[in-house]
Amino acid sequence: MSRETALAIAAAVNAGRSARVAVEAALAACEADQLNAVIRVHRTRALACADAVDAHIRSGARLPLAGVPIAVKDNMCIDGLPATCCSRMLEGYVAPYTATAVARLLEAGAIVVAQTNMDEFAFGSSNETSCYGPVKNPVDPSRIPGGSSGGSAAVVAAGYVPVSLGSDTGGSIRQPAGLCGCLGLKPTYGSVSRYGLIAFGSSLDQIGPFAANADDVAAVLAAMAGQDPLDATSAPRALSPATGEALRGARIGYVAAHAEGLQPAVRTALEATKARAQAAGATLVPVTLPHEKYAVATYYVIGTGEASSNLSRMDGIRFGHHAEAADLRQVYGKSRAEGFGAEAKRRIMLGTYVLSTGYYDAYYKKAQQVRRLICRDFEQAFASCDAILGPVSPTTAFKLGEKLSDPIQMYLSDIFTIATNLAGVPGLSFPTGRDDMGLPIGMQLQGPMFSDNKLLNMAKALG
């Protein structure tokens, strides 16, 4: 399969090569998918878009992502295409509009060739909760790709497309990127519009790109970032540019506690990455995030509370699967029982509980107070460093089914990524080698808000 980069494709198309060349190759790869990473291929639509890009180029225009084939996670709306969040609840739903992030990529010349598999409503860390079945890791199909954006990570790591889009609520871009062996960016909260993203946790969700290299991630980010009047949480501030040498003179923070409990190969990769940073001219600075140990508990109160609220509209009347029953209450109950999978039900019930009268102050309000402390920890850490380097996951990819019956162990897969979302700061996963079984190992860079491009520059220097 082609490993041509997004920027190479765009340069060739802008120079006169037909956009159909890369699009046909991507369509063929997606149609031959053996990983269950692709749930829909849009051949006719994609080829029509390729012809439109070619006509645009012939008219004298130049597009930053001309002819670049992309795949999009199934929780982003694209006008006229299904958007099911890989749930039976939304089976048959067709989006009436296009998400802003996707629309901006289309305006830049990108072409959607496929939609990707995901954990149901983005509830999961292994891409095993999808109604379409689990996604397989492209390096070892007996293992998970990570979640919830496992399909989007797999199609890039397998070379189907040069870039894809995922969403990250507690690590759902960075964790699968690390486990599949590609780059994945969770942008600064508010830097990319959430309009058209079917919400999980509205104060946590962020759309971001996967790619095989930092330059492609930066190009996709540049095309889709920016304030959007359709999203009240989008920020008016632009992302900071990456200037100067990435690592010479940089202060790279590390948290000593992050080296504890890691698979030996992951710990070795972490120390090797720190050594490379020093060799490139960076100074390592020890920092602490004292409240990070409460991040998982905090996240599973705030995240489930927001999920319960957002998914209340999926009632079989306003949206979602409709079941016939004797009265309205039974319609609600039966529709939701049939439409939602086990993990979705677990999170909705937990979220409803923490938001209920008598428990709100004890759980949800308390979690928001702890969130503020976590934000303050990052602010204080970034006063003494430019970025924090650490692991993405405690282990490499585990076997399919290994943790499916143990939700707590599954939730702990995101122990290093969740605090990033709670604080709203950017987080970037980048590949740093493999373990003795050949499984990818990813490291994470976290930076101050709007420093996304600087993180990409650092990862490029560390690669």
Output the average pLDDT for the chain.
96
Taking only the tens place, the pLDDT of each residue in 15-59 is 999 999 999 999 999 999 999 999 999 999 999 999 999 999 999
Rounded CA gap, 445 and 422, in Å?
Answer: 16
Radius of gyration of the chain (CA): 21
- Homologous superfamily of the 1-463 domain (CATH): Amidase signature (AS) domain (3.90.1300.10)
Domain layout of the chain by residue ranges: 1-463
Asked about 191 being catalytic, the answer comes back as: no
CA 169 to chain centre: 8
The catalytic position among 73, 186, 274, 460 is 73
Residue 82 forms beta bridges with which residues? Answer: 94
User: In a 10 Å sphere around its CB, with 0-12 CB exposed, 13-18 middle and 19+ buried, how is residue 77 labelled?
Assistant: buried
DSSP letter string, 166-184? EE-SSSTTHHHHHHHTSEE
**Integer CA distances (angstroms), 47 to 42, 50, 162, 218, 321, in order:** 9, 5, 17, 26, 32
Taking only the tens place, the pLDDT of each residue in 441-453 is 999 999 999 999 9
Rounded CA gap, 46 and 428, in Å?
Answer: 29
The catalytic position among 149, 164, 172, 413 is 172
Backbone phi and psi for residue 387, each to the nearest 5 degrees, phi listed first: -160, 160
**Nearest to 391, CA basis, from 354, 364, 420, 367:** 420
Taking only the tens place, the pLDDT of each residue in 398-413 is 999 999 888 888 888 8
User: In a 10 Å sphere around its CB, with 0-12 CB exposed, 13-18 middle and 19+ buried, how is residue 434 labelled?
Assistant: middle
Asked about 73 being catalytic, the answer comes back as: yes
Q: How many CB atoms lie within 10 A of CB 163?
A: 29
Sequence-separated (6 or more) residues with CB below 8 Å from residue 80: 94, 95
Q: How many CB atoms lie within 10 A of CB 80?
A: 12
Question: Mean per-residue pLDDT for 255-266?
Answer: 95
Asked if residue 1 has pLDDT above 80, the reply is no
pLDDT of residue 355: 96
The catalytic position among 87, 148, 191, 413 is 148
Residue 335 forms beta bridges with which residues? Answer: none
Asked if residue 244 has pLDDT above 90, the reply is no
Contact criterion met (CB below 8 Å) for 392 and 178 = yes
Q: How many helices (H) and strands (E) does the chain have?
A: 15, 11
> Which helix or strand (DSSP H or E) is residue 429 part of?
strand 427-434
Asked about 202 being catalytic, the answer comes back as: no
Contact criterion met (CB below 8 Å) for 104 and 207 = no
